[in-house]
Every structure is written in structure tokens, then in C-alpha cells.
């Protein structure tokens, strides 16, 4: 199959190149724009309480929503506000209302309930700005309004004794978008520079260094177009973290596939083949390895469609499409371009004509072959020690502050607001009481329910509910003392607040707790469910691919066990760095799922390269220990180079300037590093050497076989794994 593909691509190389160019042009011109959403409630199923409460509130109180932004006023000297100051605040708010700022429906100085703590009284004054509800991910109504409002607000306080700023959900969204745009630029530049430098070092050729950049440029446009088209057709929700990871996945994995092919192409040239035959043989021998690796990665990503959360379903489809586009380009566009350039692709270097000695990897391989138990114990022990810290994992849902810098205006003025108001002031929870009969709620029911809610400790409950026009729904605002996204707030809503609200509801009524904290509570429940479904399904599907590829029932089990240990070690190391060393309250809530998929997918990818080469050497007549030694010697350079590129690509996310992306970059890059340089390089070959012949049961594919001169029986399986040494 791959031999025919290689010959077809080389024969019609101009057609293949033109097809990719046309596909990129068409995708850029006609495909919808790929957009993301930060509205976390958009990802939850409608059966959860927070979403039911949100829908009830929108229906019963269509014009009553939490203000999208809060104007926060304080004295410039940080003293307490005087009567004159508060009068000036009211005048500024009146002037802003008169100015009719675009997309600002109105600004009211009442704001949330003021603190009764005398120490906090009159420290700050707030005003809530109502704005039209955001209707789509591309709707910039609120963020544009915040930009305009910030400018006008600063003009109004100039020359007074006041200082002011804007926080709230719309302001946080604006700052998050600006931070995300900056992050994407930093990540993109860092990734491109890293790939250029590493490929220049490996091949000493500017042409090969530029080849992935050009190729992934075409692939990126096509992939984004396909993802956006499917997202629009099937109403997939694409989270902002998915759009930030897309270029990293494309450049990282795409460069790996290109690297595997170029190593094999160079090997065939050194064997004396002409350039066109060499690239055909390269596709023939590397094709199955690359395709199998891509299948493993895509399957891991597609397992996310089983998630109950729309954000993960969208992310899984998006990343799987990116991987498929990358592997198709690696097996078509790259061979077509290389067949045109021939040996000039290595210009000006001549090193492709010489066989490297590979002394370092040979020494490591020999040591592993002699003492596989020591290598298995040490490498496995390192991962096991790190895995212990995974037990201390705490999820956090603070996406707003985590995705912006501490100097962003929304963060600065959120801190200022909390000097005089509860931390939950900008995103209060809502308790809704609905009559399940035709009769409206009575005054006695409302008074009794208000009294019971008012007993809720360490919170501020509105003294009177707002009642819908038909009298059948009532709403109370509850400001928690903790930040709405904090673990403490989630525990409060999940336990005592929901229990009190539900248990105090009069007969014939139903109570619901809404608000963003309630949304995050339901996120937790969904995530726990997803962990129990997505993880096992992804593991089973990957094991099936491994069993088919290796013709073994035994090997997939210990390979997946080693990958699982690598995942736990990655999570543990992330907990150690962020929660213990840096004192963060937790890791971003979906970190385990993202790490699992990347570490499992890419870790299995590297395991495929190593184990296939090991089997090839066993088929050549070597003992299990000798085969492991030779496999490390020959496959080590390829895995090392590929792993280094991916580690560096994802590590560039740590330059983004916010905690969410930095945590993801650290965890994924560390996980890939463990997969490449600990698991695949040492743990897997050492275990295989110890298990020996039984590793290949029932197929016993390691048994020596007769084969013709000029190629090994499993060359097409091993693919890139033998390329770096030649």
C-alpha cells in the first residue's frame, strides 16, 4: 500500500503540490473562521442544575442579569470615601449614561449589596454596567463596550480625588482575549524558531529546516478550515485552549513525521539508491509506522467525543483532524517536494553521505542489554516516586485570573473591589424558587424561604426576592465570601447551599441554585464521569491498535501500563511544581484529561518505534537482551530528536504569560519528555528484554525468519525507528 503511495506521489509530484496549494487557498477563502468560546456554561449538558437554573432565570427574568462589568471607584489616597466622593461617583455614572456608550444598556450605582463590616465600609463604591448578552463566540459586543467604557471612565475621574477601573466578566473576557492573542504570537514564534534551530543542528541544512515551516503553513490553513466547517455543521464548541494548542500540535507532531521520513530517506541514499527511489523506499518503509503512530494519536483525541462536555468533544475532533492532516501531508506533500529537490534538500551539508558512529547510544544500549533489571528499576522507580504526588491533585476552575496577567486591569480592580465587598460580588450565585402548581408563590412562602436562606453563614443574601410577572418564580442573589471560581466556593455551593435551598423549598415548589459557581460544580461532576469513561475507552482502543500492529496480546498490556505510569508521573510532577513549589491552589481542572491524552498518545507513539525495532532485531537472530541493546542504539537518536522537538514546542507555551497555558505547556512537555527519554528509551526496552520471548505471545513475531537480502522483514513496520542511526 505505502509502496504504491510513494510511487504515485513521486510520479505526480507537481499535481500533489498543486493540490495542497489549492486546498489551502480554498480553505482560507471559503471556510468559516475558526472561533472559540470562553462561556463555560455552553459546554454543559442541559440536564444539569446550573443550566436548568440559567434557562429558568432567562425565561422568568429576561431583563435581569448580573452586570457584565463593574466600575470600581476608590480614593486616590486609598482612604475612605466621603459623602462628596460618593456624590461624584453618582455624577460620573450619570454622565456615562448620558454619553450612551455603545452596547452599554445602562449603569446603576446600586450594584451588589454593600458589606456590613465597618472596617470595609466606604472603602470602594461600585456601579454595575448592563450589556447585551453575548450570542456567539465571535460576538465582541461586550468586550468592545468595555474598551470604550474604560477610556471614558478615565477621562471622567481625571482631576478628581478618585481612581477607578473596570472588572467583572466582560472585562475579564477582554483581558483574557488580549492575553490569549499575545500568548498565541509568543508560542508561534517560539515554536518556529525552535524547529528551525533544532533541524539546522540535526541536518545542517536550511532547506530541511524550512520544509516543516512551509508544509505546516499549508496544513494549518487546511486543518483550520476543516475544523471550522465541522464545528459550524455539528455545532461543536471549541474552547480557547484548543485553538491555542492547535498550532503546537501541528508543528510538533507534523515536524516529527517529517523527521521520521527524512531520516529514512537519508538512510536509503547512504545505501546507494537514487533520490527518487530513495524517497519511494522511504515512504514504503516509514509509512506504516507513521500511519500507526498517527492512528494512535488520533484515536486518543477522538476518545474525547465520549465526553459529556462540549469543550472536550470539540477539542478531540479538532486535534484529531490536525493529526490526520499532518500525517497526510507527511506522506504526500513532503515526498513530492523532496523528489523534486533530490539530494539538494540537504544543501550545503554533505553529512548525509557519511554513516554516523552513534557511540553514545551504542554505549547506553550495551549497558541496558547487560543490566535490563537495573534500567527497569531505576527508570520505573523515578516515575513511581513522581506518581505519588499525583494523589495531591486539586482542580481549580479559576480560568479568568489564570488566563490573564496579575497586572491586567480586571485583576487589579477585582482585588480593589474585594477590599470593600465579598469576593463573590461580581459573580453572585442565584437561588430560584419555582411554583410547580398553577398558583403563584404566596407572600408567606416567600417570607419563610427568605428567612431560611438568610441563615446561610458567611454570605450575603438579598433581603427581598425578585418575583417574575406571573408570580411563579422568585430569585434571590447570594454573594459568597469566597471567589466564585475557588475550591471553597465550589464546596459551599455543592454542599450546604444546594442542601439548604432544596431542603427549605415549600411544598409544591422546586428550588435551583444557579450562577457560575454552580456551573463549575456541575463541571466537576461531569469531569469525574468523563475520567471513568474516556480514559478506559482510549486505552482499550490504543491497545487494539498495538495488538494489530505487533501481532501480540502480551506487549500491549505492559506498554500501556508503562504509559499509565508515565501519565501519573507527569501529573505528580505538575502537582509538585505548581501546588507545592509555587503555592498555587490547584491545577486547571481539565489538566488530567489533556495530559492523559497527550502522554498516552505520544508515549505510545514512541513505544511503537522502539518496540518495532526491537522485534526486528530479534527476528534477525539476536537474543532479547541483545535486541534491546541494538534497538536503543539505533532508535534512540530518532526518538531523542523527535521528543526534543515536541518537548520544546509545548514548552514554548510557558512563555505565554498566564498560568493556564503555562501549566498546560509544562505538563505536556514534561509528559512527552518522560515518554521519550525515560519510558521509551529505557523502561520499555528493559521490560521487553526481561520478559523475553513471551512478550510476543501468541504470534511470536520475534522468531528469526528467512528474508531476502537487501531488507529486513519488518522494515516497513519499523519505519523511522531505524533512520537516525544511518
Mean per-residue pLDDT, 348-359: 71
For 310, 320, 545, the CA distances from 315, given in Å and listed in that order, are 8, 8, 22
> SS3 for 625-686, per residue?
HHHHHHHHHHHHHHHHHHHHHHHHHHHHHHHCCCHHHHHHHHHHHHHHHHHHHHHHHHHHHH
Set out the domains of the chain in order of their start, with CATH numbers.
Answer: 2-22+175-401+522-722 (1.20.1640.10), 68-167 (3.30.70.1430), 428-514 (3.30.70.1430)
pLDDT, position 498: 94
User: Distance between CA 39 and CA 523 in Å, rounded?
Assistant: 13
Give the contacts of 646 (CB within 8 A, at least 6 positions apart).
252, 253, 256, 602, 669, 672, 676
Which range has highest mean pLDDT (13-27, 114-128, 255-269, 545-559)?
13-27
**pTM for the predicted model, two decimal places:** 0.74
pLDDT average, residue stretch 384-410: 78
Give me the chain's average pLDDT, please.
82
pLDDT above 90 coverage of the chain, percent = 24
Rounded Cα distance between 686 and 364, Å, is 12
Pairing of strands 466-467, 473-480: antiparallel
What is the per-residue pLDDT for 135? Answer: 59
C-alpha cell at 170: 466582560
pLDDT at 113: 44
H or E element at residue 707: none
Q: What digits encode the pLDDT tens for the residues 589-648?
A: 878 877 877 777 777 778 887 887 788 788 888 888 999 998 898 788 878 888 887 788
Quick check: 127 pLDDT over 80?
A: yes
Q: Is the pLDDT of residue 726 over 70?
A: no
**Per-residue confidence at 421, pLDDT binned at 50, 70, 90?**
confident
Query: Positive or negative CA dihedral for 309, 311, 316, 318?
Result: positive
CA–CA gap between residue 380 and residue 564 (Å, rounded): 11
Amino acid at each position: 500500500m505505502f509502496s504504491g503511495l510513494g510511487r504515485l506521489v513521486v510520479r505526480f509530484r507537481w499535481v500533489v503540490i498543486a493540490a495542497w496549494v489549492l486546498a489551502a487557498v480554498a480553505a482560507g477563502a471559503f471556510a468559516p473562521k475558526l472561533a472559540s468560546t470562553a462561556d463555560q456554561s455552553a459546554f454543559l449538558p442541559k440536564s444539569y442544575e446550573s443550566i436548568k437554573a440559567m434557562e429558568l432565570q432567562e425565561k422568568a427574568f429576561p431583563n435581569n442579569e448580573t452586570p457584565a462589568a463593574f466600575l470600581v471607584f476608590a480614593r486616590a489616597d486609598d482612604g475612605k470615601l466621603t459623602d462628596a466622593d460618593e456624590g461624584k461617583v453618582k455624577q460620573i455614572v450619570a454622565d456615562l449614561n448620558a454619553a450612551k456608550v455603545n452596547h452599554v444598556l445602562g449603569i446603576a450605582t446600586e450594584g451588589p449589596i454593600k458589606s456590613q463590616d465597618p472596617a470595609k465600609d466606604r472603602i470602594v463604591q461600585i456601579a454595575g454596567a448592563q450589556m447585551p448578552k453575548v450570542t456567539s463566540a465571535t460576538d465582541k459586543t461586550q468586550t468592545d463596550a468595555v474598551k470604550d467604557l474604560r477610556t471614558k471612565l478615565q477621562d471622567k475621574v481625571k482631576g478628581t480625588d478618585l481612581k477607578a477601573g473596570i472588572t467583572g466578566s466582560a472585562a475579564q473576557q477582554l483581558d483574557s482575549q488580549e492575553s490569549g492573542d499575545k500568548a498565541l504570537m509568543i508560542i508561534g514564534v517560539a515554536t518556529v524558531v525552535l524547529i528551525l534551530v533544532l533541524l539546522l543542528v540535526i541536518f545542517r541544512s536550511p532547506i530541511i529546516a524550512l520544509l516543516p515551516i512551509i508544509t505546516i503553513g499549508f496544513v494549518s490553513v487546511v486543518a483550520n478550515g476543516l475544523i471550522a466547517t465541522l464545528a459550524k455543521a455539528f455545532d461543536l464548541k471549541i474552547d480557547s485552549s484548543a485553538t491555542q494548542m492547535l498550532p503546537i500540535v501541528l508543528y510538533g507532531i507534523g515536524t516529527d513525521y517529517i523527521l521520521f521520513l527524512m531520516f529514512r530517506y537519508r538512510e536509503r541514499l547512504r545505501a546507494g539508491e537514487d533520490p527518487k527511489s530513495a524517497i519511494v523506499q522511504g515512504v514504503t518503509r516509514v509509512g506504516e509506522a507513521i500511519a500507526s503512530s498517527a492512528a494512535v494519536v488520533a484515536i486518543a483525541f477522538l476518545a474525547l467525543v465520549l465526553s459529556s462536555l462540549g469543550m472536550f468533544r470539540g477539542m478531540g475532533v479538532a486535534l484529531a483532524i490536525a493529526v490526520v492532516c499532518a500525517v497526510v501531508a507527511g506522506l504526500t506533500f513532503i515526498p513530492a517536494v523532496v523528489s523534486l529537490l533530490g539530494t539538494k534538500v540537504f544543501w550545503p551539508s554533505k553529512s548525509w553521505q557519511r554513516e554516523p558512529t552513534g557511540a553514545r547510544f551504542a554505549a547506553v544500549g550495551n549497558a541496558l542489554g547487560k543490566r535490563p533489571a537495573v534500567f527497569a528499576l531505576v527508570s520505573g522507580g523515578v516515575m513511581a516516586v513522581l506518581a505519588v504526588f499525583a494523589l495531591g491533585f486539586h482542580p481549580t476552575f479559576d480560568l479568568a485570573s489564570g488566563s490573564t496577567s496579575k497586572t491586567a486591569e480586571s485583576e487589579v480592580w477585582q482585588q480593589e473591589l474585594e477590599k470593600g465587598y465579598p469576593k463573590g460580588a461580581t459573580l453572585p450565585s442565584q437561588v430560584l424558587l419555582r411554583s410547580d402548581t398553577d398558583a403563584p408563590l404566596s407572600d408567606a412562602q416567600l417570607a419563610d424561604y427568605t428567612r431560611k436562606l438568610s441563615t446561610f453563614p458567611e454570605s450575603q443574601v438579598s433581603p427581598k426576592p425578585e418575583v417574575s410577572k406571573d408570580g411563579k418564580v422568585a430569585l434571590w442573589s447570594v454573594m459568597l465570601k469566597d471567589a466564585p471560581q475557588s475550591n471553597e466556593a465550589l464546596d459551599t455551593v455543592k454542599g450546604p447551599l444546594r442542601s439548604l435551598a432544596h431542603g427549605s423549598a415549600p411544598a409544591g415548589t422546586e428550588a435551583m441554585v444557579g450562577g457560575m459557581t454552580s456551573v463549575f460544580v456541575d463541571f466537576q461532576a461531569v469531569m469525574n464521569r468523563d475520567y471513568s469513561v474516556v480514559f478506559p475507552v482510549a486505552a482499550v482502543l490504543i491497545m487494539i491498535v498495538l495488538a494489530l500492529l505487533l501481532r501480540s496480546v502480551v506487549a500491549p498490556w505492559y506498554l500501556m501500563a508503562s504509559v499509565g505510569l508515565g501519565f501519573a508521573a507527569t501529573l505528580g510532577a505538575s502537582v509538585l511544581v505548581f501546588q507545592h513549589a509555587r503555592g498555587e491552589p490547584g491545577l486547571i481542572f481539565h489538566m488530567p484529561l489533556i495530559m492523559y491524552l497527550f502522554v498516552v498518545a505520544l508515549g505510545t507513539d514512541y513505544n511503537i518505534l522502539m518496540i518495532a525495532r526491537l522485534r526486528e532485531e530479534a527476528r534477525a537472530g539476536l537474543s532479547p537482551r541483545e535486541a534491546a541493546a541494538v534497538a536503543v542504539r539505533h532508535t534512540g537518536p530518532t526518538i531523542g530528536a523527535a521528543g526534543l522537538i515536541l518537548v520544546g514546542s509545548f514548552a514554548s507555551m510557558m512563555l505565554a504569560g498566564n498560568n493556564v497555558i503555562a501549566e498546560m505547556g509544562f505538563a505536556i512537555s514534561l509528559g512527552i519528555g518522560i515518554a521519550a527519554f525515560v519510558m521509551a528509551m529505557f523502561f520499555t526496552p528493559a521490560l521487553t528484554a526481561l520478559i523475553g520471548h513471551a512478550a510476543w505471545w501468541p504470534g511470536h513475531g520475534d522468531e528469526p525468519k528467512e528474508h531476502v537480502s537487501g531488507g529486513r522483514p519488518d522494515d516497513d513496520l519499523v519505519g523511522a525507528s531505524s533512520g537516525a542511526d544511518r
